Structure 1
Amino acid sequence: MDLNDGLRAILKDHVSWSKRRLDCFIGLLLALIQSRHMNLTQLAVNFGGQATLKSRYRRLQRFFQTVVFDYDAVAHLIMQLFDFKGQSYYLTLDRTNWKWGKANLNILTLAIAYKGMAVPVYWLVLNKQGNSNQRERIALLQRFIRQFGRHGIQGVLADREFIGDQWWQWLTDHTIPYLIRMKDNQLLTNRRHAGKPVQALFRDLKVGEQRVLRKRQRIGDQWVWLNALKLETNELLVLASNRRLAQAIQVYGQRWQIENLFQCLKGRGFHLEETRLTRLTRLTRYYRIKKVMALQAIAFCWAHKVGEWKHRAVKPLTIKQHGRPECSLFRYGLDELNNFLLKTVKSADEMLRFWILFLCPPTMIDYDRSRSGKITLRI
């Protein structure tokens, strides 16, 4: 059994495609890891098979044109890969956007904070420029809750664009904690401070100091707890929450993980911005960029898990003088996967290892500390 056979056996339990379409997806997955470019021309070069380059390119075009993705099945696969089901986690919400020609690519992404790098679970293609609206955010959270419930959600972390009475009230009604940054000139609406900007409550803060107000304040129609930190740039970081959190600033720091995710999907990883699959129509099945995100999400998860294994069992990442590792777990795993795929001869043990790292969550894997790279499953 070769690597493709093993991946097919794993994925067929999660998608209802024919063998031909499943083989095409696996070929795309391996080509993306090797080329690190989400451009069909680059992918066709690394796509296996005896067909001509032009035929391979056309096959990839047809795949993104005609194949229907079950995004709930993709989400369940991703949750299984990291064993998120039954665990507690913070959700992060943000957009990534860029422009190709006249096309605006704008993707609202819901991810789970995990070891410095958020893991994407659901995404929504916004056929417009600018911020998402409250209805779109609620729809994305509702889809996640329908599939996985809300009991594991410790909170929702988001940046300044994710404000709004309807959105905040929906989170509160569903007992979902949120921690969302606000603009420091946002006006208060409670009687005592009506018309004053939020920053007026934190004027005496010095650089590096933080404070949690003892009483709730009213923003719009919502009563929220306010936390603030004076940054080294002399800018005020203000957070709003529907629950009082003593370590709110530290918790909110996990929001940056979704920015790291976008860097991995784009310039520092798979170069998502180089895709030319930009066509959007009213029919959801033809949102090709949404299918591209599904492919990239699965490739990202595999590379991240391989990076975890290599860091723990083969060679730990070196910590540089600035206190950060030499590279991310994702990049560490991507390099290892790429090196493995470039080998002309692959041993059965190597292929089994990478199947296990793709299929099994980290909690089911034991790592050999002797640097042999051996892994065993916990049964």
Structure 2
Amino acid sequence: MDVAVFEFGTIAQATDSFSFMNKLGHGGFGPVYKGTLANGQEIAVKRLSKSSGQGPNEFKNEAKLIAKLQHRNLVRLLGCCIHGDERMLVYEYMPNRSLDKFIFDETRCRVLTWSKHFRIICGVARGLLYLHQDSRLRIIHRDLKTSNVLLDSEMNPKISDFGMARTFGGDQIEANTNRVVGTYGYMAPEYAIDGLFSAKSDVFSFGILLLEIISGRKNRGFYHSNQSGNLIEHAWRLWKKGKLLDLADEFLVETGDLSKLLRCMHISLLCIQLYPEDRPSMASVVLMLGSDNELPLPKELGFLFHKKPFEANSSSGNDGSSSRNEISSSLLEAR
């Protein structure tokens, strides 16, 4: 698979035999452990769980894809370990864990000033642009979310978890699948309903991530008194009233750059428009984040509701996402 291979004994020793004290978390792939190699290098080890919804195919997919990727905003794969039934991926260790641990925590979110928020937003955008356009392989991530954005010691963001990613040919625009994978709340409508995915479905996920970063609230499970719906609907209502700034976290409003805050929220609405052709490319998003040029007005947005079960797969672990849902789409018309 063109990646370094670690001996099982080396990984077991590094993680103190996969000690509970070294466990960092648990995702769709399985548990993740912190380890320290004999040379002092810290590592993160993803160990495939036998009960995981992801299996050998996802393991090989992630190893093959990320081994070929080199970008400062993508997590770096150091190697893998295959020993009997054991399947493990060895990554560089990210001391500040994942983005969701900060933005959804009332205390830790204040560690992130607006300048750090904006640097994270731009870093994720550049990482996604690299996947879509600048890497040797054209890659659709399919599971971009706050828990899959890791933070290094300087709070620089790195996109992780490529088990669900797919490569596109040079002239390929979209693909179809009967197996919908990803995390509800971040899925584009055309992907959740019809299994169609493209670079624009990643753009939709980025738009949700952007909304969550600025508001400090989750799209899925969002609650607002006397109002139904999700964070997208709440943002749309505020946009129509000319009060979009009310969506932002109070700490960011008090300490941040209001014009950039509003601009980022405006960009997020452009990214989560219902129709893929209306959404900007990640190249356009990066340009919009770095300029003061006038932005187009967003058209109708894609809203996802969860009702009766239907056959679908979710890559999420214990982040509260369901693996079986029926998802329907509806619109709110702009006036």
Give the structure-2-normalised TM-score.
0.25
Bigger Cα Rg? 1
Give the structure-1-normalised TM-score.
0.23
Higher relative contact order (CA 8 A, sep 6+): 1
